[in-house]
Structure 1
Amino acid sequence: MHASKSALLLSALTVTTLFAGTVAEAGARERTRTHSMSNHNGARTAQTQASGSGVNGSYARRRDFTSDGNGNAAASRSASASTVYGGTASAQANGYRNADGSAGRTSSASVQNAYGSAGRSSSTSRDGAGNASHASSASVQGANGASASSTGGFTKNADGTYSGGRDTNATGANGNSYAGSTSYSNGQLTHTGTCTNAAGEVIACH
């Protein structure tokens, strides 16, 4: 089913593309920006905010950073935009790093306009012993009824072993759909996939 692969590529690219387009459409002319920071006995904090509005829409951004001077730090950022044409977009990200070697990051983004909607999210973390994990998801919905979604993740252990997988679903505007699953563990890969038509009958995947 040709629609499946195309839709999956859209699920990875649409959020970034539409988010940028929505912010550009906002065309803000009135802008404000503030910045503050402090440093006390090695502990630092900083914050930056910006916003703007114009005849086409508005936007807002914020960034924060903190550290305690002992090797622990955290940062976050967020952004949103809207247009007079009904388009909206938002994104958030948070991260941390600790003195014991552990670290993590989460992020999400969503966008909606006349062409459809899309969203994504991800989470990554590691501990100080060398174990790590990651999870992510993405989805896209077109105005013509086509849609796609994908979820998955992996884990990596300090001893070098690893495993993970991903599930993918896509539906074309004609009602044909694809459902697939991929899993792997220490070099072993398994994949299954099925395509069906609008009536639910199994068809060949192209």
Structure 2
Amino acid sequence: MEQRMRDRHGEQNLPTENQKERGERIVLTRDEQQILQALQGDIPLHSRPFAALGKRLNLSEDTVIRIIQELADRGIIRKIGAILRHRQAGFKQNAMVVWSVPESRMEITGKILASFPEVSHCYERTPSFEGKYNLFTMVHLKYPDIANQVREMAQAADLDDYQILVSETEYKKSSMVYFT
């Protein structure tokens, strides 16, 4: 379990990977801690989410963005991800579609499939699924006709080898919690 220590100013020491290897610790300011705590939860659904986050933390939008960038530069934050709660967003049908794409056509095919507004994710998978399905797309529809939509996508990308894996249940989605 990760060891965490607080100094007399309430700053929390949390080692990065390189510092763990060297046995060193880093110090996070209170603002950095608050931003990290906020980022591990839901980011405000707002046209300017970092301004809304800053307002909640009594910081400016520029300060929030600067601190996030500094934390990324230091390797403390590696990515910020978003979770789409499909059913809450009004989607009636969701499916992962796996495609067999020749390596020479991977980039153009990925761009074609990603251009469909119904596609939220499009990525190459290595190693391939079942030895041949190497491009994955997540498709979301507000109407229950996934087969026709996927046929249209296949035609646009000139593909005929794919599988549709329909989502029948939406499972709980949660992020890692490092700060409480």
TM over 0.5: no
Which structure's relative contact order is higher, taking Cα pairs within 8 Å and 6+ residues apart?
Answer: 2
TM-score computed with the length of structure 1 as normaliser:
0.25
Structure with greater helix share of residues: 2
Structure with greater strand share of residues: 1
